[in-house]
């Protein structure tokens, strides 16, 4: 006899609370295999195909395309062990609840089915479950892995009735830190306010107005930029540099045969070399512990404008890549951003960001730091300008470089030294070669 199982929208591994249905990949009556993608959703970070942990016949779908669902809401129901409809491949659908994939809650299917156990601490077995966001009885244990490793963080959340699944961590790889929990507790409404949560205000556009909800990726960007401005005491310094020799070096490299090298890749090589000399800027601030955390690796984010808005993909291990490898990875991530295929893991964990806003035809900017990083290098357009070169007035290819940095991690001398080194490498690429 068939068993009908309900598959709910999982937390896609980044503590996200909702997702929008973009496209259904199955119809009611379709036969699905274990870990087969059944729906494409858009989160605040990326487009994700969600695989179903059960094999069977789809008996129901919940939500039309364009509908926004909270994590935990039903997506589909699957009849496991149901005979396939006439005309389908196979005479029966094999599978059971025990055969379901164990990793769907982090957004990816698996070929194995590890057992999933709910963990409940001994100290809570005899105690009433606290109310979490107005809901009593939510257990501390989660159905899938959470990006949190500190038992102190878990205990702090548990003691205050805070559901860790509703937080987005500010640490590396989205790790939930103690500061994130305490920030959420400070921002939480008072108990009296949670008795009857106020509905979202509804507004009607006045004549001549167009109102667009700040949700999805646009909402996530707004929240992150606001948090950066609120929490980071940033400062910006800038310098003009003669990029003529850098452009000549790139031309020479690309006429020598082999894969073409992008300008962004050369700028990235300069960034990683500069960070090796000024590691204070490759860091983050743990406000709760009052510590600056430096990294021994560079996960380089780069700003990319797409049809879905601004995204900042991350090149992992940029410090260990050559210009050819960086060029290929920039191209791959940029294409994934344009097609909406960036995964949450490719959009998090950066330690420093390179922002080439010169592609928009502007000379300079004071960019907002990509929280929780400590600095961002901005690069304007490279244009012919009058420049004194070797004592003579000449027309040279000039670029404005700007560095926005967290003044808590270093003083202006360090930031100025970093920016000056970057400018020297742009003006004389041989400087970079001497330091490699």
* Residues known to be catalytic: 407
Backbone CA torsion sign across 240, 243, 246, 247? positive
Helix axis angle, 323-338 relative to 263-277, nearest 10°?
120
SS3 164: helix
Who's near 326: CB < 8 A, 6+ residues apart? 262, 264, 265, 268, 269, 315, 318
Q: Collect all residues with Cβ–Cβ distance below 8 Å to 124 and sequence separation of at least 6.
A: 140, 158
d(CA 13, CA 117): 18
CA nearest neighbour of 41 among 117, 124, 95, 104: 104
What's the DSSP call for residue 318?
Answer: G
Rounded Cα distance between 10 and 27, Å, is 20
Dump the DSSP string for 115-183: -------GGGTTSPPPEETTEET--SS-SS--S---HHHHHHHHHTT--GGG----SGGGPPPHHHHHH
Q: How many CB atoms lie within 10 A of CB 60?
A: 13
- Please choose, from the candidates 338, 327, 346, 337, the residue with its C-alpha nearest in 3D space to the C-alpha of residue 264: 327
> 296 by DSSP, 3-state: which?
coil
Cβ atoms 344, 46 nearer than 8 A: yes
Handedness of CA 188, 44, 168, 50 (dihedral sign): positive
Taking the mean position of all CA atoms in its chain, how far away is CA 137?
31
CA dist., res. 381 & res. 360, Å (int): 8
Per DSSP, helices labelled H in 344-411 are none
Tell me the backbone φ, ψ of residue 142, rounded to 5 degrees: -105, 160
């Amino acid at each position: 006899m068939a068993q009908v199982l309900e598959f709910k929208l999982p937390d896609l591994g980044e503590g996200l609370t909702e997702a929008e249905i973009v496209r259904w990949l199955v119809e009611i009556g379709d036969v699905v295999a274990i870990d087969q993608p059944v729906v494409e959703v858009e989160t605040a970070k990326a487009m994700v195909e969600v695989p179903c942990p059960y094999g069977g016949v789809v008996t129901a779908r919940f939500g039309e395309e364009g509908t926004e669902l909270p994590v935990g809401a039903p997506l589909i129901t699957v009849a496991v062990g149901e005979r396939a409809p006439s005309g389908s491949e196979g005479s029966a659908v094999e599978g059971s609840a025990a055969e379901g994939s164990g990793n769907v809650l982090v957004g990816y299917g698996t070929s194995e089915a590890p057992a999933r156990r709910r963990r409940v601490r001994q100290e809570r077995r005899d105690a009433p479950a606290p109310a979490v966001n107005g809901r009593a009885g939510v257990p501390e244990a989660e159905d899938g892995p959470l990006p949190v490793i500190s038992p102190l963080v878990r205990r702090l959340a548990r003691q205050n009735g805070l559901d860790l699944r509703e937080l987005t961590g500010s640490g590396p790889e989205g790790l939930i830190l103690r500061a994130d929990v305490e920030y959420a507790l400070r921002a939480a409404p008072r108990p009296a306010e949670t008795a009857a949560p106020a509905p979202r205000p509804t507004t009607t556009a006045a004549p001549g107005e167009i109102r667009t909800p700040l949700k999805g990726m646009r909402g996530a960007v707004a929240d992150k930029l606001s948090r950066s401005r609120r929490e980071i005491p940033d400062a910006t310094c800038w310098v003009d540099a003669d990029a003529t020799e850098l452009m000549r070096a790139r031309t020479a490299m690309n006429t020598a045969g082999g894969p073409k090298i992008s300008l962004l890749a050369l700028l990235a090589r300069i960034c990683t070399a500069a960070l090796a000399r000024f590691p204070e800027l490759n860091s983050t601030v743990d406000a709760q512990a009052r510590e600056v955390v430096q990294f021994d690796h560079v996960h380089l984010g780069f700003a990319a404008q797409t049809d879905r808005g601004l995204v900042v993909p991350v090149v992992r291990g940029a410090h260990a890549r050559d210009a050819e490898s960086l060029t290929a990875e920039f191209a791959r991530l940029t294409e994934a951003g344009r097609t909406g295929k960036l995964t949450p893991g490719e959009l998090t964990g950066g330690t420093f960001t390179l922002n080439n806003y010169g592609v928009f035809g502007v000379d300079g900017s004071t960019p907002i730091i990509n929280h929780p990083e400590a600095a961002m290098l901005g690069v304007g357009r490279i244009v012919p300008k009058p420049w004194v070169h070797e004592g003579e007035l000449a027309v040279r290819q000039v670029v404005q470089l700007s560095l926005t940095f967290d003044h808590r991690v270093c003083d202006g001398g360090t930031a100025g030294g970093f920016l000056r080194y970057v400018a020297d490498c742009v003006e004389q690429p041989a400087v970079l070669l001497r330091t490699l």
